[in-house]
Amino acid sequence: MIRRWFLILAVALVVQTIGCAHITHRTEPTRTDDRVLPVSFQPHAIASPAAAMAIAAESPALPAELIGPQPVEVYIQRALAENRTVQAAFHNVNSLRYRIPQVTVLDDPVASNTIYPIPSVAPQYSLMGYNPYNLVLAQQFPWYGTLRLRGQAAEQDVKVALAELAAAQLDTVAAVKRAYYDLYVAQRTVDTLAENRKILEDFRAIVKSRLATGGTQQDVIKSDVLISQLDREMATTQQGVTSARAALARQLHVSPELDLRTLPEVAIGTAPAEVERLNQMAIDARPELRGRLSAIARDQKAVALAEKRFYPNITLGLSYMDMEKTNATTPNTASGFPNVGFVVAFNLPVYRNKYRAGVCEAKERALADTKLYEAQRDETFAEIKDFVTQAKVQQNVLSLLRDNILPRTKDTMELARSDYAKSNVDYATVLSSVREVLQIQLQIVQVEAELGKALASLERAVGTQINEQPTVPMNSDTSIGTSSPTPPPTPGISPFKPTD
C-alpha cells in the first residue's frame, strides 16, 4: 500500500512539472474573447546597453511629405502620430484597460487534498472504512455588487488615463506651435537682414559715388562696418534657426539635422474677447478637468467598495472523502462507499473600526480630489485670463507697428536717402533711419511670433481651438470596458478633438 502511495505522489509531481513547463513556455497571447487578450508576463528579449545606445543614436529619415516649407498643421499631425510622449500615454491607457477583466472576475478556486498514507494513524470509520484522503474544491464569492464596483472604479481609472492622453496630445500641439513660431521668426529675421544688407549695399554704392564730389572715406567705412554688423547678426540668427529646428524635430521624432522649414508667411489668429466663454469651454473640454472629475467618480466607487467590507465574503465548496475496505480496522462492517459533502464558509467582519477607517480614508481621498479639481479650475481660469491679456497686448502692438510706425520709418529712410544724394543731410542721419527701419521690421516679426505662441498657450489652457468652431468635449459617460483602445491620432485627424 505504501508503495502505491509513493507511486501516486511521483505521478502527481510529474504532472505538476509538466503543467508548470506548459505555463512557462506560453509566450504568445491567445484570443479568448473579442475584447480581451490574456496578458503574457514573459519579458521580451532585452538588448545589451551598447545595443540600446546604438538604436537610440539612429536618426529616422525625414518623410517626403515634410520636405520643404510646411504649414504648422502638417507638423502637428506628424507629431501626434509619432511623438513618444503621446504614444507612452496611449499605451498607459491600454494597460489600464487590461485591468478591467482582472478585477471583474472571481478569484481562482481553491483545491485542497489531505492525504493519510498510513492506515494505522488515519481516520477509521466502522461503518465506512479507511479514509485515505479528503478532497475539497472551494470558490469564494465577494458580497453582491463588489465585482461590479471594482469594474466601475477601473473604468474611471481608464478615463483618467484617457484625460492624460488628451493632455499629452495638447501639450504636443502647443509645443509644436511654439517651436514653429520660433523657427518662423528666425527664418524671417534672416530674410529681413538679407534685405537690409542689400539696402546698405545700395547706400554704400551711393557713398562711393560721392567721393568724387566731396564725399568722405569715413562714410564708406561706416557703411562697411554696418554691413559687417548685419553679417554678425545673421550668424547669430542662424544659430537660432538651428535651435528652433531641433526643438521642432524633437516633437516630430525626427533628426535635428533635417531641414525643417515654415511657410514664408504664417497666418496668425486673433485674440478672443469673451473670457467667460473661454472659461466655459475649458470646463467642458480641458482634459485635466475631465480627468479630475473621473478621479472623483473613481473615489466615489472606492467609498462604496469600502462599505462592502462590512459584509462577509461567501465561500462555497464540494468535499469528497474516499473510503476503502482495504486496511480498514473493521473490514467486515465497512461499506467502502465515499462521502460527498458541501462546504459553506464566510469570513466574520467583526473588526468594525478597521472597516470604518477604510470608509473614512476613501471619503477623504474623494474630498482631496474634489479640492484638486477646484484648484485646477482656478488655475485654468487664471491662465486663460493671462494668455488673453498677452494676446491682446501683442495684437495691439503688432497693429501699431504695421500700420503706423513702419510706414513712417520707411518714408523717413527714403527721404534721408534722397537728401543724402543731394548732400542735404550727413551719412549718420541715413544710417540712423536704416537702423530704425530694420529694428521695426524685426520687432514686427518677433511680435507676430509672440502673438502666435500666446494663442497656442491659450488654446492649451482652454483645451480646444478658440478661433474655429469648438469640437465636442470628451464624453465621460462612454463605456470603456467594452470598447477598443483609440490609437494615437494619424494625419488628417483634428489634434484638438478629445479622445473618447
Structure confidence by residue, pLDDT tens digits, 243-299: 888 988 888 888 888 888 888 888 888 888 788 889 988 998 999 999 999 999 999
Q: Are strands 69-70 and 261-262 parallel, antiparallel or unpaired?
A: parallel
pLDDT of residue 364: 95
C-alpha cell at 101: 477583466
In a domain, residue 54? The reply is no
344 contacts 315 by C-beta, under 8 angstroms = yes
474 contacts 285 by C-beta, under 8 angstroms = yes
Q: Which domain holds residue 240?
A: 160-311+365-476
Nearest Cα to Cα of residue 206 among 425, 435, 436:
425
Query: How much is the pTM?
Result: 0.71
List, in sequence order, every residue forming a beta bridge with 261; answer none if it has no partner.
69
pLDDT of residue 415: 83
Weakly modelled stretches of the chain, pLDDT under 70: 1-64, 210-215, 420-425, 427, 467-500
Taking CB atoms within 8 Å and a gap of at least 24, the contacts of 156-159 are: 156/294, 156/295, 156/297, 156/298, 156/301, 157/96, 157/99, 157/298, 158/93, 158/96, 158/97, 158/99, 158/100, 158/480, 158/481, 159/290, 159/291, 159/294, 159/297, 159/476, 159/480
In a domain, residue 80? The reply is no
Nearest Cα to Cα of residue 451 among 389, 394, 393, 383:
394
In a domain, residue 51? The reply is no
pLDDT of residue 153: 92
In a domain, residue 239? The reply is yes
User: For residue 256, what is the domain's CATH number?
Assistant: 1.20.1600.10
Phi/psi for 129 (5° steps) reads: 115, -155
List, in sequence order, every residue forming a beta bridge with 317; answer none if it has no partner.
138, 343
- What residue type is assigned to position 317 of the chain? G
pLDDT of residue 43: 36
In a domain, residue 217? The reply is yes
Q: CA–CA separation, 479 vs 500, rounded Å?
A: 9
In a domain, residue 16? The reply is no
In a domain, residue 15? The reply is no
In a domain, residue 13? The reply is no
pLDDT of residue 212: 64
349, burial (CB in 10 Å: exposed 0-12, middle 13-18, buried 19+) = middle
C-alpha cell at 37: 487578450
Domain tally for the chain?
A: 1
pLDDT of residue 25: 36
